[in-house]
Amino acid sequence: MARKTATSSDRAAPLDDDTAGSKSARTRQRLLDSAATVLARRGYAGTRLQDIAEEAHIQAPAIYYYYPSREDLIEEVMVAGASAMRAHMEKTQAELPADAHPAARIEAGVESHLRLELEISDYAKAITRNANQLPEHMTERVMAEVQAYYEIWRGLIDDLAAAHQLRADVNPSVARMLVLGALNWTAEWWHPERGPIEEVIATTKSMVLYALRP
């Protein structure tokens, strides 16, 4: 998903014909994109509807035409973010040769995660920064998508173990959560001024594989 969509504003009023429906869909998408941007920048607690409205170039009360509440809008962003991470990872893995070594697949997974959350998608950054801050009533749909992404990583580490390339003293489940925690945390500290993203990716690949392999 791209970070930005068109910034022209539309009125939030009932729309009946096909053209109006298209405008309504574009406005809804712009609200989602804007909410993702604000969440990625300010976090769950710091995200206000007014901030989202300003980012989307619409009046704040108009948001209620599209989403019943702030929580409903944020939940949609979180579900979209987790879904985007899963889809991006699946695409990355599918593009590798069928006989790719498990270590190469883990390297590709590291790059897929970091590029998506740091460079490509505010949705991905929003989910990695805020998934643990959501109130309980918002987590069911979000965590279903997050767990689907985690299952991909479970498979990657299990494949490494099956190839006898996982250290004997490493618990696969613990290793998976530590790797994902480190990948998610980069969204909290990395900025282009700290160095190119390629250096972050290369260093992370090296450290992850060094920690996992004998």
Q: What is the pLDDT of residues 103-142, one digit of tens each?
A: 999 999 999 999 999 999 999 999 999 988 888 888 888 8
Mean pLDDT of 183-208: 94
Q: What's residue 6's pLDDT?
A: 31
> How are the residues of the chain apportioned to helix, strand and coil, as percentages rounded to the nearest 5?
75, 0, 25
* Mean pLDDT of the region 189-193: 91
Average pLDDT over residues 144-171: 96
Q: Do residues 100 and 175 both lie within one domain?
A: yes
- List the single range of 47-51, 133-137, 159-163, 179-183 with lowest mean pLDDT: 133-137
Mean pLDDT in the chain? 88
- Grouping H, G, I as helix, E, B as strand and the rest as coil, residue 21 is helix
As a whole-number percent, the residues of the chain with pLDDT over 90 amount to 78
Same-domain pairing of 155 and 110: yes
pTM of this prediction exceeds 0.75: yes
How far is 83 from 25, CA to CA, in rounded Å? 19
Which of 11, 5, 24, 14 has its CA nearest to residue 58?
11
What pLDDT is recorded for position 136? 83
- Tell me how far the alpha carbon of residue 103 is from its chain's centroid: 23
Residue 159 and residue 164: Cα distance in Å, rounded?
9
Instruction: Provide the terminal-to-terminal Cα distance of the chain, rounded to the nearest Å.
Output: 37
Looking at residue 21, its pLDDT comes to 64
User: Do 143 and 199 share a domain, yes or no?
Assistant: yes
1 within domain boundaries = no
CATH, residue 170 = 1.10.357.10
DSSP state of 57: T
Is residue 32 in some structural domain? yes
Q: Contact 109/150 with Cβ under 8 angstroms?
A: no
Choose one of 66, 98, 126: the last residue of a domain.
66
Q: How far apart are CA 178 and CA 172, in angstroms?
A: 10
CB 77 within 8 A of CB 36: yes
pLDDT at 69 over 80: yes
Q: How far is CA 86 from the centre of its chain?
A: 8
Distance CA(154)–CA(179), nearest Å, equals: 11
Query: Which tokens belong to 27?
Result: 């406005």
Stretch 64-75: mean pLDDT: 92
- Among 119-123, 140-144, 171-175, 185-189, the range scoring the smallest mean pLDDT is 140-144
Mean pLDDT of the 55-76 span: 93
What is the pLDDT at residue 23? 84
Residues 206 and 119 in one domain: yes
| Per-residue model confidence (pLDDT) at position 194 | 87
Q: Is the pLDDT of residue 12 over 80?
A: no
Assigned domain for 62 exists: yes
Q: What is the CATH number of the domain that holds 27?
A: 1.10.10.60
DSSP 8-state class, residue 38? H
Q: Does residue 5 carry a pLDDT above 50? A: no
Are residues 75 and 152 located together in one domain of the fold? yes
Task: Supply the range of the domain harboring residue 80.
Answer: 70-212
On whether both 94 and 146 belong to a single domain, the answer is yes
What lies within 8 Å, CB to CB, of 126 at 6+ separation is 35, 36, 39, 40, 77, 78, 81
The amino acid at residue 94 is A
Domain count of the chain? 2
Residue 11 pLDDT class (50, 70, 90 cuts): very low
Q: How far apart are CA 43 and CA 149, in angstroms?
A: 21
